[in-house]
């Protein structure tokens, strides 16, 4: 009896081990034609329009499309899955800010140009497409959306301060950052409770994005200590020095917006949803005008096909269907996802007036901005470096650290992070 | 029935520090070898492994899980500390470079200072509060279970939920605490901006969560103290304070040392609290809030490895931190030894 039980247990263990081995090998071998019947799609809540995704599941009958909303740290989960090589999604979203860190490992993804992206590429904004192209020309990301930025402002405050309040007039008067600061001083005089901006970091983010160069150049050199960054830094510190900075660096932003202590907000198109959901009572008081100093981009994502994709041709069809200009426009209406395909900007879902913004057609501001965003090289370490500068700006705001000292520390720390990641 | 051979002297070290409530456990070192010695050595060696296989099999799940999810990652992280790796690409051997960076990195040292400050700010009130509460509860006659459950509840509440709640209560401009201060005519405090109040809020959160846990342990210890001792003290004319200082505290000493060790281990690993309190700010996620005042070492490790995908550097951070914890554990160990001799 003892023996037979032992045999039984041995057999169980052996079977389990064998099953594990088979599974492990099965995932790696990817020879022959790949025409799997099942496709999985990973995205995060709000990354794609749920309605469009649902329609895609019904629309494609040759394959079974299964979508999954992945919560938490999306990049980390994707990275772990790709490294593990098991249960890799056939189609996955990649957030715009994470794209740069995936590009050095572009060989983990399929080159979309091989699958026909070249033919549809002209429909999408070139500066956006370029952000998902590796140095050797592999196109790993299909643009979902972008984040063209603009200045959101409280028209009622502008009126009280004797400033123009209609979007066209504001656009004509506030063209440069200096104009914006001048308006801020007027606003603060008329409405003392209102600040011009929520935090210095917000200005810095936008100002860096207005340039064609960021912290690391294409030759892999650290340029975060040079004039273009210093100019952005000085600009970010100005509202603080003038007493126009609300210095909000925690989650009280929602309450601040609801209370009406912020006169302008610098943000991307999707920021409209943040404002309207945080301050439903301010409906009709906000307007949108072009960004002072020129357009820049914040956020915006991609869809990519990992190398393990079980049916690349069908997967690419799914992706290009999901992100066709017509569906892009639906995504905007449904989930405020701003399309990367300019053809969508003329569609009725996008040209409609937004009641929250007093019926203003916000596309008149965001559309032209989207097309004029400068293309800049983003290095893998870019997001980590940006975080250093923002941290030091926060130190200026909360600890009263001298801006010059904060600048030196930010540069030194950013430089070290860059060095750690192999930047010269 | 022989005792399971694998859990012999090896675990005594752990038991000695952690042998709070069951005090007799301090002694197995002496009794265990006596039990093994008379046995014929050959028999134990040859048949030991084979004849006990069902027992080995029965305990194997723990060792398998431990090996795969604890032991292997520990050594792999040591390996990583000497490499540069972004998580999916090629690994590059860089020798001691990561540790050189560590020495020059002001943020790392800041995180160590933060961690130690938060640890002291949370452990001292936690243990003192637990001791006082346990004493009170030990003399309570009615609703005993209710008090115990009520005080233990914070410990089983989701830490993320607590952190979100604390974040709302201590919010700078619109929090409950500031609203109360305002109503009382006192100046509002920028809880979530000032480097010290940030640490205070995190420490308060940890205190709130862990006081009940330590109280239960103290309570168990107090109930093991025979009533005659107290009776004798009362007859000799000792008041409650004197009884507490001269009887309860000395007898509880090993249990207090145990809670100090546990609190050291827990307190130095503060991560979720600052991560959740300041993680909602997307621009500053995992940076530990304004001035990085809430950036604990583990949060910095997480930020380096999982936000910046600098896994080699993250591994170097935790190994340096491991050395620090080791030093503190040695200090604790000394305290335990001294306590046993006297």
pLDDT score recorded for residue A17: 58
* C-alpha–C-alpha distance, residues B181 and B176, integer Å: 9
- Going by pLDDT thresholds of 50, 70 and 90, the confidence category of residue B8 is very low
pLDDT score recorded for residue A25: 43
- Whether B34 is covered by a domain: the verdict is no
pLDDT score recorded for residue B1: 38
* C-alpha–C-alpha distance, residues B171 and B185, integer Å: 18
Q: Which residues are paired to B84 by β-bridges?
A: B92
- Going by pLDDT thresholds of 50, 70 and 90, the confidence category of residue B286 is low
Partners of residue B193 in chain A, C-beta under 8 Å: 247, 249-250, 398
Q: How many domains does chain B have?
A: 1
B12 pLDDT more than 80: no
Q: Do domains A36-146+300-346 and A149-296+372-420 have the same CATH topology?
A: yes
- Whether B162 is covered by a domain: the verdict is yes
Contact at CB, B172 and A384, closer than 8 angstroms = no
pLDDT tens, position by position, A144-187: 999 999 999 999 999 999 999 999 999 999 999 999 999 999 99
Measured in angstroms, the CA of A286 and the nearest CA of chain B are apart by 22
pLDDT tens, position by position, B96-117: 999 999 998 989 999 999 999 9
pLDDT score recorded for residue A423: 85
A32 pLDDT more than 60: no
pLDDT tens, position by position, B117-160: 999 999 999 999 999 999 999 888 888 889 989 989 998 988 88
- Whether B169 is covered by a domain: the verdict is yes
Residue A372 DSSP one-character state:
T
Task: Domain of residue B272: give its range.
Answer: 101-341
* C-alpha–C-alpha distance, residues B24 and B28, integer Å: 8
Interface test with B, best of A105, A251, A278, A308 (most B CBs within 10 A): A251
- Whether B111 is covered by a domain: the verdict is yes
User: Residues of A near B (CB-CB distance < 8 A)?
Assistant: 6, 9, 73, 76, 79-80, 82-83, 101, 104-105, 108, 201-202, 205, 247-252, 255-256, 259, 380-381, 383-384, 387, 390-391, 394-395, 397-399, 409, 413, 416-417, 419-422
* Per-domain boundaries in chain A: 36-146+300-346, 149-296+372-420
* C-alpha–C-alpha distance, residues B272 and B202, integer Å: 10
pLDDT score recorded for residue A33: 61
Contact at CB, B84 and A83, closer than 8 angstroms = no
Lowest mean pLDDT: which of A47-56, A71-80, A264-273, B37-46? Answer: B37-46
Assigned fold of A149-296+372-420: D-Maltodextrin-Binding Protein; domain 2 (3.40.190)
Determine the residue of chain A that is closest to B310 in CA distance.
A421
- Whether B222 is covered by a domain: the verdict is yes
pLDDT score recorded for residue B208: 93
- Whether B50 is covered by a domain: the verdict is no
Partners of residue B317 in chain A, C-beta under 8 Å: none
pLDDT score recorded for residue B90: 87
B51 inside 8 A of chain A by CB: no
Measured in angstroms, the CA of A57 and the nearest CA of chain B are apart by 31
pLDDT score recorded for residue B19: 39
**Percent of chain B surpassing pLDDT 90:** 33
* C-alpha–C-alpha distance, residues A141 and A144, integer Å: 9
Task: Report which of residues A381 and A319 the model is more confident about.
Answer: A319
B193 inside 8 A of chain A by CB: yes
* C-alpha–C-alpha distance, residues B205 and A158, integer Å: 43
Partners of residue B306 in chain A, C-beta under 8 Å: 73, 76
- Whether B198 is covered by a domain: the verdict is yes
The torsion of the CA quartet B245, B256, B223, B125, rounded to 10 degrees, works out to 70
* C-alpha–C-alpha distance, residues B169 and B208, integer Å: 14
Determine the residue of chain B that is closest to A201 in CA distance.
B283
Contact at CB, A421 and B190, closer than 8 angstroms = no
Q: Which residues are paired to A265 by β-bridges?
A: A152
Output the domain CATH number for residue B153: 1.10.3720.10
**Percent of chain A surpassing pLDDT 90:** 73
B35 pLDDT more than 70: no
Lowest mean pLDDT: which of A11-15, A275-279, B295-299? Answer: A11-15
Residue B273 DSSP one-character state:
H
Contact at CB, A251 and B98, closer than 8 angstroms = no
Contact at CB, B101 and A419, closer than 8 angstroms = yes
Mode of pairing for the β-strands spanning A91-94 and A149-154: unpaired
Query: Across the A/B interface, how many CB contacts are shorter than 8 Å?
Result: 109
CA dist A347 → A325, A331, A351, A362, B257 (Å):
9, 12, 6, 13, 71
Q: Which of A209, A197, A248, A204 is nearest to A390 (CA)?
A: A204
In CATH, the number for domain A36-146+300-346 is 3.40.190.10
Determine the residue of chain A that is closest to B106 in CA distance.
A413
CB proximity list for B209: less than 8 A, separation 6 or greater: B154, B155, B157, B159, B162
- Going by pLDDT thresholds of 50, 70 and 90, the confidence category of residue B47 is low
* Mean pLDDT computed over A409-417: 93
The structure's pTM equals 0.78
A322 pLDDT more than 70: yes
The residue written with tokens 């209560």 in the block is B169
pLDDT tens, position by position, B236-266: 988 888 888 888 888 898 898 888 888 888 8
pLDDT score recorded for residue A15: 59
- Whether B240 is covered by a domain: the verdict is yes
Mean pLDDT (chain A) is: 89
pLDDT score recorded for residue B4: 41
């Amino acid at each position: 009896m003892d023996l037979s039980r032992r045999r039984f247990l041995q057999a169980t263990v052996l079977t389990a081990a064998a099953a594990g081995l088979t599974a492990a090998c099965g995932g790696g071998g990817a020879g022959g034609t790949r025409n799997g019947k099942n496709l999985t799609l990973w995205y995060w809540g709000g990354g794609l329009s749920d309605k469009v995704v649902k329609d895609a599941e019904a629309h494609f009958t040759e394959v079974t499309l299964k979508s999954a909303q992945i919560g938490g740290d999306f990049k980390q989960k994707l990275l772990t899955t790709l490294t593990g090589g098991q249960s890799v999604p056939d189609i996955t979203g990649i957030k715009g800010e994470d794209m740069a860190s995936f590009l050095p490992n572009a060989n983990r993804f399929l080159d979309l140009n091989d699958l026909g992206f070249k033919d549809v590429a002209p429909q999408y904004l070139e500066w956006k497409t370029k952000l998902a192209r590796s140095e050797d020309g592999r196109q790993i990301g299909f643009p979902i959306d972008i984040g063209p930025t603009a200045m959101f402002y409280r028209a009622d405050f502008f009126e009280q301060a004797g400033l123009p309040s209609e979007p066209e007039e504001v656009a004509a008067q506030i063209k440069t950052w200096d104009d914006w600061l001048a308006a801020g001083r007027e606003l603060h005089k008329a409405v003392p409770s209102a600040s011009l901006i929520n935090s210095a970091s917000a200005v810095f983010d936008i100002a860096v994005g207005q340039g064609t160069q960021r912290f690391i150049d294409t030759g892999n050199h650290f340029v975060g200590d040079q004039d273009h960054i210093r100019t952005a830094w000085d600009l970010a510190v100005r509202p603080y020095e003038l007493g126009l900075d609300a210095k909000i660096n925690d989650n009280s932003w929602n309450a601040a917006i609801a209370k009406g202590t912020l006169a302008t907000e610098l943000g991307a198109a999707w920021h409209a949803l943040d404002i309207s959901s945080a301050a439903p009572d301010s409906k009709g008081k906000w307007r949108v005008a072009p960004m002072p100093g020129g357009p820049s981009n914040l956020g915006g994502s991609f869809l990519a096909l990992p190398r393990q994709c079980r049916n690349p041709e069908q997967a690419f069809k799914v992706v290009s269907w999901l992100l066709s200009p017509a569906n892009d426009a639906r995504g905007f209406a449904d989930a405020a996802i701003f399309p990367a395909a300019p053809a969508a900007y003329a569609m009725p879902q996008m040209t409609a007036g937004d009641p929250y913004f007093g019926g203003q057609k916000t596309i008149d501001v965001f559309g032209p901005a989207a097309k004029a965003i400068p293309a800049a090289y983003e290095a893998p370490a870019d997001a980590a470096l940006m975080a250093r500068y923002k941290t030091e700006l926060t130190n200026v705001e909360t600890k009263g650290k001298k801006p010059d000292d904060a600048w030196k520390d930010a540069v030194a720390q950013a430089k070290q992070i860059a060095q750690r990641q192999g930047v010269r | 029935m022989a005792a399971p051979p694998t859990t012999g002297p090896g675990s005594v070290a752990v038991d000695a520090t952690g042998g709070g409530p069951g005090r007799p456990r301090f002694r197995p070192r002496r009794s265990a070898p006596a039990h093994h010695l008379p046995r014929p050595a050959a028999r134990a060696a040859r048949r030991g492994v084979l004849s006990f296989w069902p027992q080995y099999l029965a305990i194997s799940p723990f060792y398998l899980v431990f090996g795969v999810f604890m032991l292997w990652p520990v050594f792999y992280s040591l390996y990583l500390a000497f490499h540069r790796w972004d998580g999916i690409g090629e690994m590059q051997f860089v020798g001691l470079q990561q540790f050189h960076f560590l020495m020059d990195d002001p943020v790392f040292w800041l995180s160590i200072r933060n961690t130690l400050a938060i640890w002291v700010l949370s452990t001292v009130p936690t243990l003192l509060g637990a001791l006082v509460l346990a004493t009170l509860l030990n003399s309570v006659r009615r609703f005993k279970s209710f008090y115990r459950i009520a005080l233990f509840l914070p410990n089983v509440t989701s830490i993320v939920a607590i952190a979100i709640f604390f974040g709302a209560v201590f919010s700078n401009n619109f929090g409950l605490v500031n609203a109360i201060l305002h109503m009382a005519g006192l100046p509002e405090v920028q809880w979530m901006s000032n480097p010290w109040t940030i640490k205070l809020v995190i420490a308060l959160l940890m205190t709130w969560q862990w006081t009940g846990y330590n109280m239960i342990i103290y309570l168990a210890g107090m109930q093991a103290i025979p009533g005659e001792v107290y009776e004798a003290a009362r007859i000799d004319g000792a008041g409650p304070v004197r009884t507490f200082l001269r009887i309860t505290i000395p007898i509880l000493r090993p249990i207090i040392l145990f809670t100090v060790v546990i609190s050291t281990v827990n307190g130095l690993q503060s991560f979720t609290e600052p991560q959740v309190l300041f993680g909602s700010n997307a621009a500053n996620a995992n940076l530990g809030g304004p001035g990085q005042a809430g950036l604990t070492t583990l949060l910095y490790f997480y930020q380096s490895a999982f936000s910046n995908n600098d896994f080699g550097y993250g591994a170097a951070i935790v190994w340096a931190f491991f050395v620090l914890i080791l030093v503190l554990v040695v200090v604790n160990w000394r305290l335990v030894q001294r306590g046993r001799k006297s």
